[in-house]
Structure 1
Amino acid sequence: MKTIARRKVIKLSLLGCVAGALGNSSFAKVLALIPTPSETEGPFYPVKKQKDKDNDLTQIDGYVGNAGGQHIVIGGQVTDVSGNPVENALLDIWQADANGRYRHPRDANPARLDQNFQGWAVIKTDDKGSFRFKTVMPGAYPASGTWVRPPHIHLKIFKPGYIPLTTQMYFPNQELNKKDLLLNQKSVTEQSAMMAKEIGQQGNLIIYEYNIVLDLLRK
């Protein structure tokens, strides 16, 4: 069960391992100062209310067990197109569990739902625009016909004064990326901007970096 002490450990220890893996400057660097490409929200945006939406998706408050699959940490920075950090940006994050199943009543995937996986997080960037969360590597799942979606994470990012962004983050070295109907609609540059970067490992945790660029809302 989650406790105040455990939340402090998550906040401090994950910050330490991510920062250590990134080095002194990686968080401050943005891969490209073009707005992060948008992508469809998809059919599985969460519809059931849930109390626990913190930055550790591998365990649900009140549950004893941990989510199955490969646990990972994703950290990065939200900036504007000029590279300035965007503080207090709201990140709405949802994904399939390690079995490729969403915690959504319309998901017809016959794969077993991991009852210990939170599936949804709502967090904010800090005063440097940085964010981090712990989750599992999402499983691939059938979309339609022979189309199988590669592992990916959905995000909505919102901050007053900026164009709201809905996008999907992908993982490198996934064979299914080459055949994904959504990802392959993007240019090479756009695909690169939507791809997380594996930057290290802390114990059994694989650490990824993913930076987001928001465009200003024009008056």
Structure 2
Amino acid sequence: MSFLDDFSGTSLDPARWIDHYLPHWTTPDRSRARYDLDEQGLRLRIDADQPDWRPEDAPLRVSNIQTGNHDGTHRHRPDGLTVRTPTGTRLLWTPSAGNLDVTVSASRDDGCMLAAWLVGVENEDPRDSGEICVFEIDASAVHDDGTTARIGIKAHHDDRLRTDMTEVAVSIDASRPHTWSVTWGPDGTVIACEGATVGRFDQAPDYPLILMLDLFEIGPPTPEPSAYPKTARIHRVHAQDAKP
């Protein structure tokens, strides 16, 4: 199945996206994304009055969109995550193999990180928790003449995978529009930036994955209100499933 969104409408498509970050682990006021749409696509925001995702994680604020959810998805913290807001299971686009292109402009705002992840749903087996980290870009790593990003595989609770993360340097200013790509399946995972391969991994999760696109503010809020909103942009998402 093909998946294409250039965010050219007047609202986010609810048949494609959930505009909450892992809402089952917290409350709706804390998980809800702050965003707007314009001629450049989707602008994710961290606003001055935005609450922390969970009180236990403070300071940590996030605006995220994702293509599915399950009450148990992404048990990524070791401190006893519990379901606070049951949401049921919604699987909007959850491929188990395929390819993805996502065009973004990363943030240069203090304390921010833009990320794209493919994360196991865990609705059929709690081991189905592995993650393909397409990229994580810290604002502090974005420069006019180049950017450093983290990419790779995170095993989480899947003992069939091993965590294999690496840092890569790309010769672009990632705050300008650019495209990251990933192809994954039985032969492994290949990640590219602007058409150039930046990572090859001999493993890939082999179960349904949720696409998550996130803007985080990690650390204490900036004291000056004029620093907000802190933003990043998702211009376009284009993907193709290789398996039903």
Q: Judging by fraction of residues, say which structure has more helix.
A: 1
Pairwise same-fold verdict (TM > 0.5): no
Q: Judging by fraction of residues, say which structure has more strand.
A: 2
**What TM-score, normalized by structure 1, do the two folds share?**
0.30
